[in-house]
Amino acid sequence: MGPVRLMKVFITRRIPAEGRAALARASDCEVEQWDSDEPIPYKDLERGLTGAHGLLCLLSDCVDKKLLDTAGANLKVISTLSVGVDHLALDEIKKRCLIHSGIRVGYTPDVLTDATAELAVSLLLTTCRRLPEAIEEVKNGGWTSWKPLWLCGYGLKESTVGIIGLGRIGQAIARRLKPFGVQRFLYTGRQPKPKEAAEFQAEFVTTSQLAAESDFIIVSCSLTPATKGLCNSAFFQQMKKTAVFVNISRGEVVNQDDLYQALTSSQIAAAGLDVTTPEPLPTNHPLLTLKNCVILPHIGSATYGTRNTMSLLAANNLLAGLRGEPMPSEFKL
C-alpha cells in the first residue's frame, strides 16, 4: 500500500493559537501558511491556492473567480475567519457546485456576537459623549475649568434607538442598550422579526421612518446589493440634527462622501465608525479631520477570547468539510 496522500490546506495569515493548533494536529493535512500579520499579496495567494483542497481566509482576502479558477477542481472547502462572506465570490462558488462536487463554505457566526455588540455600545457612548474630544482637551491644555455647556453630548435615557439589521448582533446591541433607559427601539430589514423584536418591544419601520425618528442609529446589517450605499445623502437628510450615527457592519453600507457632508454641514451631530471603505482608511481622508467623527480600525470582535474561538471554529469548519463531515458552522449557498 502506498503512502496516504495528504490534503493541501492554505492559510492566508497568521491566526490565533487555538485554530493553528487544531490544524497542526490534523494528520491528514499538509498545512501551508502565509507567515505574516499583514495581508497576503494576490500573486502569493494565487500560488498558495494552486492545488489546494482547503482554504482558510480572512475578510480582507477577496476570493474571486480568478482565484477559484487557479485552485481548480481540488478545492473543496473555503473557511473564512469572519461572519461576513461578502469577500467571497458566492455566485462563482455556486456555479462550481453544479459542475462538480462543489465547494463548501464555513464561517464564524454567533461566537463574535457579544464582543461586537460590546464594541458597538462602546463606540456609541464614545461618540455621543464626545470622549475623544474630551481626552484631547485634557492633553492639550484646553481644560481650564468646569463649564456648564462645555463638551456636552447626548444621553441615551428616554431616547429612540434605530437599528438597521436586527440579526444576532443587532439583538445583542439592543439587549445591552435597554438598561440605559432607551424609551423606544425601531428596526428595519428585509422583513419583520416579531419574535426577536418582542424582547425590546421594537417596532418594524421603513428606513425613512427609522432615519427621521431615531436619536441614535446603529447599522448592523449584512452587506448585500440591497444595503450597499443604503446610508447616503437622502438618508442623512432625513435624520435629526441632534442624531448620532454608528456603523459596525461593513463600510460599503455607507456613502462616506455623503456622511462627510452631513457631518460638516451639521445635518447630523456625530458619527462613529468601526468599518470604512477602504480599510485601512488613508490617513489623509477627510473624515479623519472631523472632531465629530470617531473612527476605529475594525476591532468589533477584537477580544483575545473571541478571536481564539473564531480561529478554532474556522479550523474545525475546514477540517470537517475536507473530511466530508457536518461543519460546525456551514454557510448555506
pLDDT, tens only, 49-72: 999 999 999 999 999 999 999 998
Look at residue 1 in the predicted model and tell me its pLDDT: 40
CA separation for the pair 246, 294 (Å, rounded): 9
Give the predicted TM-score (pTM) of the model.
0.92
Distance of CA 197 to the CA centre of its chain: 22
The answer to whether the beta carbons of residues 205 and 187 sit under 8 Å apart is yes
Please choose, from the candidates 212, 189, 187, the residue with its C-alpha nearest in 3D space to the C-alpha of residue 198: 187
Residue 95 pLDDT grade (very low, low, confident, very high; cuts 50, 70, 90): confident
CA atoms within 13 A on the CB side of 83: 23
pLDDT at 3 over 80: no
Per the annotation, the verdict on 100 as an active-site residue is no
Q: What is the pLDDT of residue 99?
A: 61
Residue 79: predicted pLDDT: 98
pLDDT value at residue 333: 86
For 69-90, write each residue's pLDDT tens digit: 999 889 999 999 999 999 999 9
Look at 79 and 95; give whichever has higher pLDDT.
Answer: 79
Catalytic residue among 87, 100, 285, 298: 298
Sheet containing 29-33: order of strands: 29-33, 7-11, 54-57, 77-80, 104-106, 330-331
For 185, the grid coordinates are 427601539
Burial of 79 (C-beta count, 10 Å sphere; 0-12/13-18/19+) = buried
